[in-house]
Amino acid sequence: MEAALRRARRERRRVIASVTAPVAADLDLSAAVLAARRAGDRFFCLEQPDRERSTLAALGEAALVETTGENRFREAAAACRELARGAEAADGLGDPPGSGPVWVGGFAFAPRGGSAPEWASLAPGQLVLPELSLARRGDEARLTVTAALGGDESADTVLERLRARVNDLEPTAMPLLDPDPVASARVAATKSRWIAGERGSRKSAARSSSTAARGRCMTLSSYSPSRCQVRAFAGCRRTACWSRRSAARRRRK
Listed range (1-5, 124-128, 175-179, 196-200) with the worst mean pLDDT? 196-200
How many domains is the chain built from?
1
- Which positions ≥6 away from 44 have C-beta within 8 Å? 56, 57, 58, 59, 104, 105, 128, 130, 240, 241, 242
Give how far the C-alpha of residue 147 lies from the chain's centroid of Cα atoms, to the nearest Å: 15
User: Which of helix, strand or coil describes residue 187?
Assistant: strand
pLDDT per residue over 191-211, tens digit each? 444 444 445 544 544 444 333
SS3 labels along 35-84:
HHCCCCCCEEEEEECCCCCEEEEEECCCEEEEECCCCHHHHHHHHHHHHH
pLDDT at position 91: 73
82-110 tens-digit pLDDT = 999 999 987 777 888 999 999 999 999 99
Nearest to 34 by CA among 141, 135, 158, 170: 170
pLDDT for residue 215: 39
* Under 8 Å between Cβ of 133 and 57: yes
Question: Cα-flanking dihedrals φ and ψ of residue 206, to 5°?
Answer: -65, -25
pLDDT at 175: 66
The pTM score is 0.74
| E strand or H helix at 16 | strand 15-23
What does the alpha-carbon distance between residue 192 and residue 86 come to, in Å, rounded to a whole number? Answer: 44
Domain range holding 34?
2-252
Would you state the pLDDT for residue 149? 94
Is pLDDT of 68 > 80?
Answer: yes
In this prediction, residue 216 has a pLDDT band, given cuts at 50, 70 and 90, of very low
Q: What is the largest CA-CA distance in the chain?
A: 54
